[in-house]
Structures are given as C-alpha cells and as structure tokens.
Amino acid sequence: MFALAFTLAGPAMARDRAQNPILVPAVSQPRIEVRQGFTGTQLLLYGAILSPEGARAAKDYDIVIVLEGPARPLSLREKKRVAGVWVNADSTTLRSVPGFYAVVSNRPLAQIVDERTAAIYQLGLTALQLSPSGSIDPAAQEHFAAGLVDLMRRSGLYLQDESAVRVKEQVLYEARIALPSHVPVGTYTAETFAVQRGRVLASATARVEVEKQGFEKAVADFSQHQPVFYGLLAVGVSIAMGWLAGRVFALI
Amino acid sequence: MDIYLPIASLSVNGLVIIGLGLLTGMLSGIFGVGGGFLTTPLLIFYGIPPTVAAASAASQVTGASVSGVLAHGRRGGVDYHMGGVLVVGGVLGTGLGALLFDALQRLGQIDTVINLLYVAMLGSIGGLMAKESITSLRAGADGARPVRARRHHPLVASLPGRWRFYRSGLYISPLAPLLLGMFTGILTMLMGIGGGFVLVPAMLYILGMGAQVVVGTSLFQILFVTMATTMMHALTTHAVDLVLAVLLLIGSVSGAQLGARFASNASPLRLRLVLAAIVLLVAVRMAIGLTWRPDEIFTVAAL
C-alpha cells in the first residue's frame, strides 16, 4: 500500500521538488527489547523539517506520523442473536491487518487533509486499508472495519491522537506514542508526512524493531522449534512442582 | 509484580495469577475437580488469549493433580486399575476432541458450543449434586440417616465382559470406565477442563464406585489426560506459556495440599453441597453470558 501511495504521489512530488521541504525523522529507540518486566514503552518520534537549501523551512507545515506494526491476515466474526442466544453469525477475512497502528498529528486530521488524500496515504483510523477478501459489499465491509478498529482501539493497539505532535519554531517536531505490553513483535515503520494546504509535500520513513530478547526470546523460540521437548518440559515442570509441593507440605 | 509472558506476549501481575492458581488448586484438593473450569474463563477474563489460557491451564491442572494423587495415594484412595482404564479412554477422547475442536473452529461456532456445553453439563450435574446432598443433609438432621445402596447404573451392567476392580469394590465391564474416560477426554480438549466435575459424579452415580477412592482415582485420570492435552497443545497450537504455567503452578500445588488437608477434616456432605453451589453458579453465569448482549460483538481469529 505504501508503494502504491508513492507511485500516486510521485509525479506531484517531482514537479515541486525544488520547493519541497526535507524531512529528517528519528526515533528514540530503533530497537525495542521485550524482556522480563516489559510493561510497554513510550516511543519518542522526532525530527526536523528543512527547506531544500537546508535552512529553516520558514513555513507552517502540518505533521502527521503513522506508526504501523507488522500486518497479518485475520478472520473477523460478528455475533448476532439467534433464538435468544448470541452466536457468531457473519464473518469476513481481512488479508492485511496491522498488529499496531497509531496516527498522530498536530491538529485534527480532517482539517489537514481531505478524505481522498487520507485514503491514499492511509491517514487515520477510518482510512485504514484492511484488504478484505470475498464479499465486496462496501457497506458490510465498512461495518466490519469499524468493528475491528473499535476492538483494537479499546485494547490499546490502535490509536489516533490529533494533538500529540508538537512543532517547534517551524523546524523541529516531536510526538510520543505509547506502546502497551502486548504489542506484537516485528518490524514497525514510522512514516512522517509534511502536509501543507491539504497536499502531502514530503514523507520519510524510520524503522523500529520490536523483538523479544533474552529469556523471553529463548522460550518463544524453544516452543516453536522444539515443540516435543517444550511440551515434555512443561509436563515435567508441572509434575516436579506438584511432587515438590507434596514433599514440602508433608514435612510441615 | 509485573511479569512478561513470552508466549501470550503481554505482561501480567504475577501475584494475581498465583492467587488464581491457589484458588483453583484448593478446589482441586478438596473436591477432586481439576479447577480448569474456573481457571480458563478467569484467565481469558484477565486478558490472556483464549488458546494460551486453555493450553497453559492444562499444565496447571497436571501439577495440582500430582500433589493430590500423591496425597490420596498415601491414604490408599486411588484405584490404579480403574484409573488405568479411564486414562486409556481419556487419551483416546483427547484425540477425538482435537478433531472436533478443529472442525468447530472452522465453522466459527466453537465458542457457542463450548458455552452451551458448560451450561448443560454444569447445570445438570450441579443440580443433581445439590438435590442429593440437600436430601441427605435433611435426613441426617432428622437422625434417620438413610443408607444409600451403592449400585451401578443398569446400563453399566448390560455391557459385555466383566473385570474385578478391587479397590472400587466393583465387578463390571471395563467398557464402562473406558467410555466415561473417552467422554471426559473429549470435554478436556473442547472445554479446556480436567473433566473432574463430570468424572466424580459419574463415578459415584453411574459406576457406583466407593466414595473413598472416587476423588483419588479421578485425580489420577485427570493427571494423565491433562499431560496428554499439554503435549497436544505444545505440538499443534504452540500455545503453552511456560511462565504462565509456572505462576499458576506455584499457587495451585500449594492450594491442592491445603485443600486436601481441609477435605480430610470436613464433612463430605457439606463439601458436596458447596461444590454443587459453585458448579451451579458458574452454569448460571454462563447461561446469562449466552443471552445477554456480549461485551464484544466482534472477535478476531488469526489465519
């Protein structure tokens, strides 16, 4: 989807390249290590907006930052009441659902870009492309997408904060995004957009790696690569602890 | 105390999990039920992904059962012969349950089936136990304690072939415990429970086993069936969280010991009434959950 966005934006960017600003993005932690005691973290995304000459941009730009986690296919089911009992009724398959999605900006997105631009660059929770497969009924898909976004938002994995970005002296910008402890691991992209009068003038990407480390990584790898031994270990630990407790309590 | 769970991929308060283990461990020690019927729903309620909850709860039940089996075994309360037959049936049932689970999951109806099963099983068994123990308690209060003729169900007698189960004091067809074991094995895989709350009443009322060996033998069967379940989850769903299991185990193995100690000093009739009340309570909660508008209309499943 990002590739598509770039091809669409390509000609416009080439035409105005001379006047377009340069974005220099950075993140506070390019690698987030998930290890024992990890309870989530605050990611600081910051950077500078410069004119092509490298001087201060001297114009007011709107800044929108999208932090997106690894996408995976999902099936989404909706419960309906059948004969007094709530059962899973309708379902849909979404081929690319980001495991984490945060969009932050310096003022409400609706004032920064119009709907079409928001859809092209996937700016905002309502503009998220989830690539549904199967039924293409737009109303139904919208209904499912809204349900998913609501679910993810309440679990803290999707967020939209329209005042999180602060732009200082037309040069520096910064934003903080909170990652909860249950963020999926993988490669995250933080894409910063400089927007003026509804047009995206520049964008730049920074990467963030979220990975399990140390003991947590060892356990996760062990369970995936050596399932037989992992299972035996789990059973062994259970029996040993049960037996040990029996011995200890027999002494008391 | 924040502890990060490597497989569930989230951090939890370790003390809450240990407390949960303690609670279900005590149930296990007192009543001989695995406690899984409480652990799994509570873990899910706490925010642990359902598959991880079911898979890890199984290993917790294993731990609690070991100390329970040891405690009861020391007192001669385990019929290993009967237990062996039940285990064979249970392991077969686990395999069947896995197939059934897969089929229902593909239909998207696994949650509803599990909830309906919970309501039906817990409701009928809880009701039966409550009725029985209230009747006996009343009779006891009147002074005229009725001597219940311990006898197996007529259907059991019609099965072919007979084995002697000395400790249970039975001479019945091994098919009866085998089928019962299979049935609980299926439930273990489908509902993420040890099956003890089905097994204990069935042993008492259908097989007609002696009350002194029922709890120990039920724990013996649960021990092996949950071991098989843990292995099956480790191989297929990769959802056994060792850290979560250890936390649950710390609580439940201690709870099981405390519970077994408590059970030997308490009136069995009252214990059965309390268990009936707990079982009925869970059933009612589940029934309400089915008919009330659920908190989440939408659910996601990874593909």
DSSP state of B205: I
Report the complex ipTM.
Answer: 0.81
d(CA B297, CA A77): 8
Question: If residue A187 lies in a helix (H) or strand (E), which one and from where to where?
Answer: strand A186-196
Mean pLDDT of A182-206: 91
Mean pLDDT of B105-131: 80
Which region among A17-31, A190-204, B30-44 has the lowest average model confidence (pLDDT)?
A: B30-44
Instruction: Give the list of residues 6+ apart from residue A243 with CB closer than 8 angstroms, or none.
Output: B66, B67, B70
Interchain contact, B2 vs A37, CB within 8 Å: yes
**Shortest alpha-carbon distance between residue A159 and chain B (Å):** 18
Instruction: Write the class of the CATH domain A2-212.
Output: mainly beta
Interchain contact, B240 vs A231, CB within 8 Å: yes
Asked if A96 and A228 touch (Cβ cutoff 8 Å), the reply is no
Asked if B15 and B23 touch (Cβ cutoff 8 Å), the reply is no
Closest CA to A38 of B6, B219, B90: B6
Place of tokens 């630990």: A237
Mean pLDDT of A69-87: 86
- Among candidates B2, B112, B298 on the partner chain, residue whose Cβ is nearest the Cβ of A39: B2
Dihedral sign of CA atoms A155, A183, A42, A109 in order: negative
Residue type, B165: F
Instruction: Give the list of residues 6+ apart from residue B243 with CB closer than 8 angstroms, or none.
Output: A219, B3, B4, B5, B6, B7
Specify burial of residue A124 (Cβ count, 10 A radius: 0-12, 13-18, 19+).
buried
Which region among B18-27, B195-204, B274-283 has the lowest average model confidence (pLDDT)?
A: B195-204
Contacts of A215 in chain B (CB under 8 A): 6
Instruction: Using a CB–CB cutoff of 8 Å, tell me whether A14 touches chain B.
Output: no
Q: Is 0.80 surpassed by the pTM of this model?
A: no
Closest CA to B135 of B126, B125, B146: B146
SS3 B140: helix
Instruction: Using a CB–CB cutoff of 8 Å, tell me whether A111 touches chain B.
Output: no
β A85-98/A132-133 pair status: antiparallel
> What is the reported pLDDT for A9?
45
Contacts of B2 in chain A (CB under 8 A): 37, 39, 181
Q: What does each C-alpha distance from A16 to A9, A21, A62 come to in angstroms?
A: 11, 10, 17
Percent of chain B with pLDDT over 70: 93
Contacts of A184 in chain B (CB under 8 A): 9
Interchain contact, A234 vs B230, CB within 8 Å: yes
Q: Name the A residues in 135-154 with CB < 8 Å from any B CB.
A: 144, 147-148, 150-151
Interchain contact, B66 vs A38, CB within 8 Å: no
Residue type, B46: Y
Interchain contact, A184 vs B66, CB within 8 Å: no
Interchain contact, B7 vs A37, CB within 8 Å: no
- Among candidates A86, A144, A232 on the partner chain, residue whose Cβ is nearest the Cβ of B290: A86
Among A75-89, A144-158, B211-225, B274-288, the range of highest mean pLDDT: A144-158
Interchain contact, B66 vs A37, CB within 8 Å: no
Which region among A7-21, A34-48, A62-76, A211-225 has the lowest average model confidence (pLDDT)?
A: A7-21
Asked if B60 and B190 touch (Cβ cutoff 8 Å), the reply is no
> What is the reported pLDDT for A6?
44
Instruction: Using a CB–CB cutoff of 8 Å, tell me whether A84 touches chain B.
Output: yes
Mean pLDDT of A2-28: 61
B289 or A97, which is more confident? A97
The full set of domain ranges for chain A reads: 2-212, 214-252
Could you tell me which chain B residue has the CA closest to the CA of A210? B9
Contacts of B301 in chain A (CB under 8 A): 74-75, 77
d(CA A176, CA A153): 17
- Among candidates B59, B68, B297 on the partner chain, residue whose Cβ is nearest the Cβ of A78: B297
A7 pLDDT band, cuts 50/70/90, is very low
State pLDDT tens for residues A125-137: 988 888 888 766 8
Mean pLDDT of A92-121: 91
> What is the reported pLDDT for B95?
86
